[in-house]
């Protein structure tokens, strides 16, 4: 007797018609045609059942603040930072908490159950930190929320940032952040990387830096981050977010750099939606794409995980907590449209992101947390193509979100009465 059985599931690795049996919030057994009963059974009818989506790079203190106090007119990263600087002093803890909780509701409906959020530590009042610590506790039963102490205005560039970042870590923020390309000079940026890695080593914390989020090919802080990671013995615990300057770097230099990043076992976190929106803004034509070298980094064996970064905030007016939208953009910008390419992109929204966040008990193996999403699509490729509708979201064996399939009634003479876009998948056996 189980608590829940999901029958006839297609899994991301290609297995079909699998039954998933759940007991005490964990995956107890998986197999075909399992003879057992459960308090609740769901027939997935050959649709994809996956571990939940994971967003390893987000800004929950700014989300849903679009238009406050005004819009970003130039659409640039720098105006976004300036605009956030206008909003930050008038933020209240209550408003930050309310917006973040609303975002988490949306995330759950999209099957997004783990989020790493940067939290701005620049303001001495630390309203953002207090607010997101409250949110982390409030959502703990349904979302794994990690917080990164993020000195948005620069660790050395902004007066008091050294003290406020340390205070945020004392308050219980999980991870050390940074923004070396925003410091006043290259050398101050490099010094900030060293200082922040030292703090992480001393406190036993991971590192996740906004690193080289610029089109400047000379922005090479990732090189310093890799070197300091090894110096302080932080291999596997460090993430380099964005790395957009790598798009514009000299190819010879990159041929040296990628092995260095691999040696340091740095998790790479591009943010395709934001990178394509904010980078290349100083170009006329041709315009650069402004996303890092995803294919080459994956081929070097690096763990590449995609983040959403922003939803309706000073930097990005779009977004819907849909990690499949992130993957959809990644396929286009990285030009990774092959079958194996798309499987890798799906992994970058799920297992790779879980690895970047260091999540325990994530996956479909026996003993893993029973955290699952049923999608209105047959397989990961179709899920990405359709940005598939979420039919059910399960956390620790309990259904926490459910939706009817999206099907359209068609009123055309001599044509089918209903359209389910998921049924337009390519044929399994090639026939002409």
Catalytic residues: 213
**CB nearer to Zn ion: pick between 19 and 55:** 55
Beta strand 38-43 with 26-31 is unpaired
Beta bridge partners of 31: 19
Asked if 69 and 87 count as a contact pair (C-beta separation under 8 A), the reply is yes
List the 238-242 sheet strands across, edge first.
53-58, 112-120, 144-150, 175-176, 207-211, 238-242, 267-269
Q: Which uninterrupted H or E stretch holds 166?
A: helix 161-171
Q: Cα dist. 93→14, 44, 53, 64, 225 in Å?
A: 45, 42, 28, 14, 33
Report d(CA 425, CA 431) in Å as an integer: 14
**CB nearer to Zn ion: pick between 7 and 308:** 308
Give yes or no for a cis peptide into 344 (omega within 30° of 0): no
**CB nearer to Zn ion: pick between 150 and 232:** 150
**CB nearer to Zn ion: pick between 42 and 211:** 211
340 CB neighbour count, 10 Å cutoff:
8
**CB nearer to Zn ion: pick between 223 and 309:** 309
**CB nearer to Zn ion: pick between 8 and 76:** 76
Asked if 377 and 49 count as a contact pair (C-beta separation under 8 A), the reply is no
DSSP 17-51: SEEEEEETTEEEEEESS----EEEEEE-TT-BEEP
Q: Which residue's C-beta sits nearest to Zn ion?
A: 309
310 CB-near residues (< 8 Å, 6+ apart): 58, 59, 62, 63, 273, 274, 316, 319
Report d(CA 192, CA 189) in Å as an integer: 5
CB of 80 to Zn ion, least distance (A): 10
230 CB neighbour count, 10 Å cutoff:
16
CB of 178 to Zn ion, least distance (A): 11
Binding site for Zn ion (CB under 5 A): 309
**CB nearer to Zn ion: pick between 183 and 309:** 309
CB of 378 to Zn ion, least distance (A): 33
The conformation of residue 237, written as its DSSP 8-state character, comes to S
CB of 310 to Zn ion, least distance (A): 7
Beta strand 144-150 with 112-120 is parallel
Q: Which uninterrupted H or E stretch holds 57?
A: strand 53-58
Beta strand 144-150 with 175-176 is parallel
Report d(CA 105, CA 321) in Å as an integer: 10
**CB nearer to Zn ion: pick between 153 and 309:** 309
């Amino acid at each position: 007797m189980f608590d829940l059985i999901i029958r006839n599931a297609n899994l991301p690795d290609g297995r079909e018609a699998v039954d998933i049996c759940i007991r005490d919030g964990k995956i107890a057994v998986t197999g075909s045609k399992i003879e057992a009963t459960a308090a609740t059974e769901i027939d997935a009818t050959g649709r994809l059942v996956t571990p939940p989506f994971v967003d390893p790079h987000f800004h929950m203190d700014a989300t849903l603040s679009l238009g406050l106090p005004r819009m970003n007119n130039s659409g640039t990263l720098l105006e976004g930072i300036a605009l956030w600087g206008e909003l930050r002093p008038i933020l209240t803890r209550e408003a930050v908490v309310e917006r973040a909780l609303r975002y988490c509701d949306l995330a759950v409906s999209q099957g997004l159950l783990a989020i790493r959020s940067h939290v701005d530590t620049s303001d001495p009042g630390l309203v953002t930190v207090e607010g997101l610590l409250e949110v982390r506790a409030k959502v703990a039963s349904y979302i794994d929320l990690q917080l990164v102490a993020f000195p948005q205005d620069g660790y050395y560039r902004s007066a008091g940032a050294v003290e406020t970042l340390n205070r945020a870590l004392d308050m219980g923020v999980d991870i050390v952040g940074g923004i070396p390309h925003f410091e006043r000079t290259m050398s101050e940026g490099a010094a900030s990387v060293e200082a922040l890695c030292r703090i992480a080593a001393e406190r036993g914390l991971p590192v996740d830096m906004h690193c080289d989020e610029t089109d400047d090919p000379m922005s090479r802080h990732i090189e310093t981050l890799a070197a300091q990671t090894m110096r302080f013995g932080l291999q596997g615990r460090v993430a380099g977010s964005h790395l957009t300057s790598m798009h514009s770097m000299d190819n010879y230099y990159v041929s040296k750099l990628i092995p260095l990043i691999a040696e340091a076992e740095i998790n790479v976190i591009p943010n395709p939606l934001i990178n394509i929106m904010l980078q290349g803004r100083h170009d006329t034509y041709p315009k650069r794409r402004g996303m890092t070298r995803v294919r080459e980094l994956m081929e070097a064996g690096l763990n590449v995980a995609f983040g959403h970064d922003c939803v309706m905030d000073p930097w990005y007016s779009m977004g819907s907590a849909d990690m499949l939208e992130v993957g959809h953009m990644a396929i286009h910008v990285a030009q990774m449209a092959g079958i194996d390419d798309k499987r890798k992109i799906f992994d970058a929204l799920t297992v790779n992101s879980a690895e970047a966040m260091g999540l325990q008990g994530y996956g479909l193996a026996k003993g893993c947390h029973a955290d699952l999403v049923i999608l209105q699509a047959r397989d990961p490729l179709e899920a990405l193509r359709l940005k598939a509708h979420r039919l059910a979201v399960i956390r620790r064996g309990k259904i926490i979100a459910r939706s009817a399939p999206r099907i359209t009634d068609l009123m055309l003479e001599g044509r089918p009465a209903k359209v389910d876009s998921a049924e337009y998948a390519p044929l399994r056996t090639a026939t002409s």
